[in-house]
Structure 1
């Protein structure tokens, strides 16, 4: 199972290329052009280190660290290697670039420092600190505390002789054959000079695989071989018979040969690939552990499970058990932790994508390689170059396409490169639309390029391959320099006229505004004066009404006052009359002659009738009048 691209998904934003991808694309794009290099993809003046970071799998990084030559590592001082935990693994002579494994690949300050020391371009590749340290130990590079500048040091046989048995075993597993032979010869000469080292067989760890540990026994004694607790050793006799020894144990050495077994561990999120000598294979998902027995196992390796996030999927192929010649295909959707079964493999996609740099959004075949499909809505930029209008104007149409994968099975059966299909279909629609219009008509009809109905070929092809195009956005157009210059001049003249018109309109609007303001102020002034007069009239009317109401209330008060006085007088007269009546009644009861009594006083009123005149005259005189006029009384007499 190939895990080279398992860390990527089908998102078009993840189009960072590896070193091999860039070189392959260059060879495909220009097979006859020998002068093309990586800079043509990265950009006109920039190196790959600033634009494209190689995406090395962990297994590839470990392999390169195992096989990196000392001459390449020693281009940097040992003090720098130990201080920053870095190891150069690749030197690209074409780009003049060093690829260096570091703990923190995003450390820009470290990248600048190494670039300054090497006077070359530098690309940092992420790696594990333990792997880097083991490489420095394998190459016998002194630490920063032992050497101020390892570039001035000489590595002789004494340095080789100081290497432990762990380094020898490490080299035996990971170094090339020529390097193992040279190292074995040097180590044999060194051991011959210093004699056997009883402490050489110490417990060692393969730091390149944190899940695989070569557990070595305490050591070979003179007569006995000691196996520590938790370790296993395979004993081989002279007759070729093998038996497994499990520690803790101490056995007689004799003429036997002992081989420590490798312990393989798979943590959660990992699995063990166990290949047997009979050709069968087994996958053990973690957590799991297994001792590699050369009698049964051909090899055991630890791999990471494929992590699938939400809205991600992989296409898995496997052979039918009943008919090995036929292959089944199934889909695994996330979120999930996918562990392949023996005989299964993943579908690897290779689509068009944009490398960036001076190429912009130009799509290059096979530049996006991945295994995990991206099921979320996605988008891409697409420029349609060399589009001719009906009057032979050459322009570039810029689009943005929004799409979404709906049917994976239909996509797998209908196409091998959906992005390439989108590019071709959109180009066909744009060429058809533009070819019927002149340049001026095209400028007036650019709004139709935002209408999805314009892209009938694109929508039809997307439906055929299991995609749905949600929207197509027109981002503008570009033209040739001469045409663009004429267009710019026309725009400038048209803009100047529009500005003059706008200026004159603003002047007239200002005059209209002033006149309107004056008329408004006069109207407001008249309205204010009319309001004041109306208010004065209303106040005068209210005052007169108030005065009339006050006079009416005063007259009503006087009338009520007179009525009250008359009522009081009448009541007093009634009481007087009542008292007088009671007095007269009492006098009558006592036998008094009321007539004489009442007439004994002076008359209150005298009525005199005189008949001498021609016409009779009537004269009435009250007693009060008589009292005030004595003459009247005498006349009455």
Structure 2
């Protein structure tokens, strides 16, 4: 057995004496181990995304954040292991608890992402245990089916089938819904509930059962659209607000019932569908007939309008033609009147000139001593016979005498 041991760089060894004393050596060096037991310690290291959790023999826990390394000392440590740090996205948070050494009280803090979280030795994480989706049926939730430490703070949703909803006429159905929700207040959620999904399920079931109990099956089928209105979920909205959540929407996905009732509903639905299709077909035929009549009326109106426009156009043309003809007649009349006036004026001027010449002629004759009266009388010959009719009224008779003239 060699009495000297060589320790390289980044190595640590222990020399254990027979009396139980332990001496530690770090390399690089060469040590004397005569009559001593030499133990080369194992070395573990952690990267930037890891940390080393050390459990010492005195009960102390230490978390060494990476990058780091340590040696596993069996005399001072019970265990040492490399742990991964917790990475948080922007929509995830951690609820971390720690004990205040001065007051010995537990303090709670919330770590928001994005970050890489390395817990200290006196910190522990809140583990959420909620209703989770059944692997056999995604529309059913089982208690404790969901365990996690990273709490998501983004909008989420889940499917759920509400069984044994009894209608007013005592029909049992299963109502399918889908709920959308979002966490608004983490502190309120932590203080008011341990299982928000369970609270949602209970409140949702209560609202749907209350809705179905007031209606018969036929009325329920006719009013299923009301299940898409959030105002009809009173208990769900109140409970979600009390635990720090906001329910944005509930979507109705249909319902189920037993086979016999389902066959009856299917038969009734087929009959209603056939009647509705027939009624729509009749409406379409009536609409087509109405459309044809409307088109015919519209076409007749257009034809009448065209005829009226043509008549107005012809009347306007006749009016313009008559107006033009009257203008031409007026123009011709004015021209004839103007010519006649000119002719009369010319005649008057000519007669005036002749009268002036005659007057001048007679004046000259008078100045020459000629008797103008005799001259003028001589210009007109005397008649061959002169007939004079003289009527005398002697008072004997009131009637005039009758005269007969014979050539």
TM-score, structure 1 as length reference: 0.48
Corresponding residue for 1:471? 249
Give SS of 1:331's match.
strand
Corresponding residue for 1:609? 361
Tell me how far 1:322 sits from its aligned partner: 3.6
Tell me the alpha carbon deviations over residues 41-86 of structure 1, each in whole angstroms, 9 at most, x when there is no partner: xxxxxxxxxxxxxxxxxxxxxxxxxxxxxxxxxxxxxxxxxxxxxx
Corresponding residue for 1:414? 192
Corresponding residue for 1:275? 55
Matched, 1:332 2:84: no
CA distance in 1, matches of 2:272, 2:41: 85
Matched, 1:355 2:155: no
Tell me how far 1:389 sits from its aligned partner: 1.1
- Assess, with a 3 A threshold, how the Cα gap between structure 1 residues 508 and 278 changes in structure 2: closer, same or farther: closer
Q: Does structure 1 conserve the Cα–Cα contact (< 8 Å) formed by 2:53 and 2:64?
A: yes
Give SS of 1:514's match.
helix
Q: Does structure 1 conserve the Cα–Cα contact (< 8 Å) formed by 2:43 and 2:71?
A: yes
Matched, 1:304 2:84: yes
Q: Which has the higher contact order (CA 8 A, sep 6+)?
A: 1
- Assess, with a 3 A threshold, how the Cα gap between structure 1 residues 544 and 269 changes in structure 2: closer, same or farther: farther
Matched, 1:374 2:152: yes
Structure having the higher strand fraction is 2
Corresponding residue for 1:520? 298
CA distance in 2, matches of 1:457, 1:506: 46
Tell me how far 1:347 sits from its aligned partner: 1.6
- Assess, with a 3 A threshold, how the Cα gap between structure 1 residues 451 and 518 changes in structure 2: closer, same or farther: closer
Matched, 1:451 2:203: no
Tell me how far 1:499 sits from its aligned partner: 1.8
CA distance in 2, matches of 1:615, 1:403: 146
Question: After superposition, where does 1:140-539 map in structure 2 within 5 Å?
Answer: 225-251=5-31, 254-322=34-102, 324=104, 326-357=105-136, 359-535=137-313
Corresponding residue for 2:338? none
Tell me how far 1:363 sits from its aligned partner: 1.0
Give SS of 2:48's match.
coil
Q: Does structure 1 conserve the Cα–Cα contact (< 8 Å) formed by 2:138 and 2:159?
A: no
CA distance in 2, matches of 1:352, 1:536: 90
Tell me how far 1:541 sits from its aligned partner: 6.8
Corresponding residue for 2:351? none
- Assess, with a 3 A threshold, how the Cα gap between structure 1 residues 512 and 461 changes in structure 2: closer, same or farther: closer
Unaligned runs of 5+ in 1: 1-219, 553-604, 618-637
Larger Rg, first or second structure (1 or 2): 2
Tell me how far 1:402 sits from its aligned partner: 2.2
- Assess, with a 3 A threshold, how the Cα gap between structure 1 residues 487 and 332 changes in structure 2: closer, same or farther: same
Tell me how far 1:356 sits from its aligned partner: 3.9
Give SS of 2:182's match.
strand
- Assess, with a 3 A threshold, how the Cα gap between structure 1 residues 521 and 616 changes in structure 2: closer, same or farther: farther
Q: Does structure 2 conserve the Cα–Cα contact (< 8 Å) formed by 1:609 and 1:616?
A: no
RMSD: 3.4
Tell me how far 1:364 sits from its aligned partner: 0.9
Spell out structure 1 runs of 4+ moving beyond 6 A.
539-549
- Assess, with a 3 A threshold, how the Cα gap between structure 1 residues 511 and 226 changes in structure 2: closer, same or farther: same
CA distance in 2, matches of 1:456, 1:520: 56
Corresponding residue for 2:393? none
Tell me how far 1:379 sits from its aligned partner: 1.8
CA distance in 1, matches of 2:11, 2:324: 122
CA distance in 2, matches of 1:536, 1:287: 106
Q: Does structure 2 conserve the Cα–Cα contact (< 8 Å) formed by 1:387 and 1:434?
A: yes
Give SS of 2:170's match.
coil
Corresponding residue for 1:142? none
Tell me how far 1:450 sits from its aligned partner: 2.7
Tell me how far 1:238 sits from its aligned partner: 4.9
CA distance in 1, matches of 2:103, 2:36: 47
Tell me how far 1:329 sits from its aligned partner: 2.8
CA distance in 1, matches of 2:165, 2:117: 46
Q: Does structure 1 conserve the Cα–Cα contact (< 8 Å) formed by 2:15 and 2:33?
A: no
Tell me the alpha carbon deviations over residues 473-506 of structure 1, each in whole angstroms, 9 at most, x when there is no partner: 2222222211111111111112212222222222
Unaligned runs of 5+ in 2: 332-356, 377-407
CA distance in 2, matches of 1:308, 1:615: 157
Q: Does structure 2 conserve the Cα–Cα contact (< 8 Å) formed by 1:346 and 1:371?
A: yes
Give SS of 2:63's match.
strand
Give SS of 1:230's match.
coil
CA distance in 2, matches of 1:259, 1:317: 39
Tell me how far 1:449 sits from its aligned partner: 2.3
Q: Does structure 1 conserve the Cα–Cα contact (< 8 Å) formed by 2:182 and 2:245?
A: yes
Tell me how far 1:369 sits from its aligned partner: 0.6
Give SS of 1:361's match.
coil
Q: Does structure 2 conserve the Cα–Cα contact (< 8 Å) formed by 1:317 and 1:329?
A: yes
Give SS of 1:609's match.
helix
